[in-house]
Amino acid sequence: MNEQHIDTLLNAMTLEEQVSLLAGASFWMTVPVERLGIPAIKVSDGPNGARGGGSLVGGVKAASFPVAISLASTWNTALVAQVGQALGQEAHSKGARVLLAPTVNLHRSTQNGRNFECYSEDPFLSAQVCVAYIQGVQGEGVGATVKHYVGNESEFERMSISSEIDERALRELYLVPFEAAVKEARTWAVMCAYNKLNGTFASENRRLLTDILKREWGFDGVVMSDWFATHTTVESVNAGLDLEMPGPTKHRGQKLLEAVRAGEVHAETLQDSARRVLRLLTRVGAFERPAPAEEQAIDRPEHRALIRRAGVEGTVLLKNDGVLPLDPKQLKKLALIGPNVQTAQIMGGGSAQVNAHYRVSPYEGIQAQLGEGVELAYEAGCSNHKLLPLLQGQLSAEYFSNRDLSGEAVSGPSVAQAEVMWSTEPAPGVNADSFSARLSTRFTPVEDGEHHFGLVSAGLSRLFVNGQLVVDNWGAWKQGETYFGAGSQEATGTLRLQVGHAYDVTIEYATPAEGVMGLRAVRAGVTLPLGTEHLERAAQLAASCDVALVFVGHNGEWDSEGQDRSHMELVGRQNELIERVASANPNTVVVLQTGSPVSLPWLDKVAGVLQAWYPGQEAGNAIADVLFGAADPSGRLPQTFPVRLEDNAAHAHYPGGNGKVRYGEGLFVGYRHHDTKNIAPLFPFGFGLSYTTFAYGGLRMSAESLQPGDTLTVTLDVTNTGQRAGQEVVQLYVRDERASLPRPEKELKGFCKVDLRPGETKTVTLTLGMRALAYFDDARAAWVAEAGRFEVLVGSSSRDLRARAAFTLQRDWVQPLERSQAAF
């Protein structure tokens, strides 16, 4: 269907039908117009998997890919495009036409709870990765939705806070990935952020949605709200918000009809938004190909292989004193220590999570790699949970059509584990909005001791053991950060249990009278806490082994949408565990799994450190591939690791207060801050070690003098000087030696990942346009590259520069915003 057909269809619609297109029908579906054969389409979260229309817990299984910070760590846009293509295929398996991804907000701080879901601190790297991702997704006929537009760099008060961002920082940093998504990738959808920008909600900010996005950049797709982020009728439609999600509508429908009839919204404005929705339906093939009604869990071998490869390429080797890669022939006994050994930490929390087909733990991955030749010994040492570990085992369920568990119970389907999120009626005939439930199971402890039980719930809950009330989250319910702020704090209770005895555990639940986003959920956990004796056991084990591998970090409870972190430390006693193990065995290697930089106070005491992030369902296999040298560690950091929290550029302004967060650091985020202020990082932006070595040489430029509008081509030779095949990431930074306005010391403007066999040399070619030399002059509302001398700096990180050359721009290049179509 072409534009003419869209216009014909639009002209055949009644005003009521046009209005109906501008809000969702349900949580994941748009509204159909059956009279004219206009279908509804399904949208789906999220960036590292296609969950489909199920809840955040359970649901149809899906492939879990590496999270965004891991993908950006690959610095491999061709690989990211393949991941995008696979995610488009995953979306098809769930009957979804639109994927709510990618997330391209910047790593302004290390504390953002959604740091893992975003690519980088650098706008150019974020832009190039997001372009590749979008092109991969949309190449499969699935719409990508770049988000969150704009200024959502923290989760603190995200529903209401105003991000106060100066024009230069907005243009040179935070808008750049969105601009690239529109101009280069031609994304089909954009999602507004929850927050305000400079005092106006993003979803009703006319300057953002119409002036910049639609007019200046020429965006012709759909602008949708984040879920429940539409606040007005007239203001949001007139600002350029096309689609209110989710449905049923709160601010469109009859309210919008009345606004049009009253002349508060022009018919042309309404038609433009309706046309954009029809255009999206056309682009995703909704008119020609009906989506399957049933969601499918298709575990594709090619996706398994791709996830493993992407997980490997995103793993960053931060330190290696020669212990890596491990040689199985030199090992008799290997210690696997830490809370992440037997738990596969594959993704962050929040709307990005999926019900993975499977999860490979580090223990399983290493065991598969080694076979029977090496003895594996395990100790947890300590824990790293935020919520008590989930109570495992099948639970029976019965429901009541009231909130006090009275009357006749209705049996429902059994529950696979003790976390449930209800999005529809829980059992036939039971009111989905007002019900209570009783979940029952039996728990058999494996050790004697004082067990801790915990409950969190969006709604009221309580837990009984053998009929005894142990956790009261009913009469003593307190608001917490769980379930996007709709849930409680974790309520806990203790009870001494005996090993081998089976105990009846009953969880009672009632839906909330009112709730954020209409969420209804409960989660029960149980644990026997680990004490100092477990740290000592871990150290003793390490002393008896050839090498000690310590698997530490966080999980989706700490790295999650809806909450930020207050510090940069590893949680619990993990730092103490590493110190003790390293003291017992000098061949200690730490494998970190976090969604952001953390402090490493023990760095000089260990032999090796790997940053593995959250690499998806193949986590253990990808980590083992790097540890044992089946693959070269070719990941490079997309975010600076500061020595301490106070070294973050945004530290003095984070997270804000009184309804505002001031981006007072301006342009100087990440390495720009460290370079300009001469603050040494723990690990610089772009850093990452390899199992081989590389030499740079022969830097050449296509010209030493440029005229406005010229393009500069930079070439250089890279040689693998080691004994193993490897991949090097060549990074090109640009330095303006003298500018009228303050500028960072240097800025990333090009990169290339190159595969090299031992002794092999390849020539890398990178191209710079005028925008690569320019800053944004807010007084002139224009991009400006000033006449004068520039340097190109080429190296393997922002602090490891191997070659440089200078050139001169003969005259000023000025590009006003209305003509801002230059390539990046």
Asked if 23 and 243 count as a contact pair (C-beta separation under 8 A), the reply is yes
Rounded CA separation 92/48 (Å) = 15
Asked if 135 and 84 count as a contact pair (C-beta separation under 8 A), the reply is yes
Asked if 669 and 173 count as a contact pair (C-beta separation under 8 A), the reply is yes
Catalogue the long-range contacts made by 650-653 (C-beta closer than 8 Å, 24 or more residues apart): 650/108, 650/109, 650/153, 651/109
Which tokens belong to 767?
A: 């191209």
Q: Which stretches of 521-605 are DSSP H helices?
A: 532-543, 574-584
* Closest-CA residue to 692 (of 735, 653, 721, 734): 721
Which tokens belong to 732?
A: 């090109």
**Strand ranges in 566-640 using DSSP code E only, listed in sequence order:** 588-593, 608-611
Tell me, yes or no, if 647 is annotated catalytic: no
Rounded CA separation 124/180 (Å) = 9
Q: Which stretches of 94-173 are DSSP H helices?
A: 123-138, 167-169
Rounded CA separation 103/91 (Å) = 17
Task: Name the DSSP letter for residue 262.
Answer: T
Which tokens belong to 821?
A: 């179509």
Residue 459 CB burial class (10 angstroms; 0-12, 13-18, ≥19): buried
Which tokens belong to 157?
A: 């008060």
Q: Between vectors from CA 21 to CA 52 and to CA 47, what angle results, nearest 5°?
A: 30
Task: Name the DSSP letter for residue 23.
Answer: B
The H-or-E segment that residue 93 falls in is helix 77-93
Rounded CA separation 526/451 (Å) = 7
> What letter represents residue 99's amino acid?
L
Of 45, 122, 226, 736, catalytic: 226
Residue 282 CB burial class (10 angstroms; 0-12, 13-18, ≥19): middle
Residue carrying the six token digits 């009632």? 510
How far does CA 130 lie from the centroid of its chain? 12
Rounded CA separation 143/191 (Å) = 12
> What letter represents residue 444's amino acid?
T
Residue carrying the six token digits 């960053």? 316
The H-or-E segment that residue 526 falls in is strand 521-527
Q: Which stretches of 240-394 are DSSP H helices?
A: 254-261, 267-283, 301-314, 362-370
Catalytically active residues, by annotation: 226
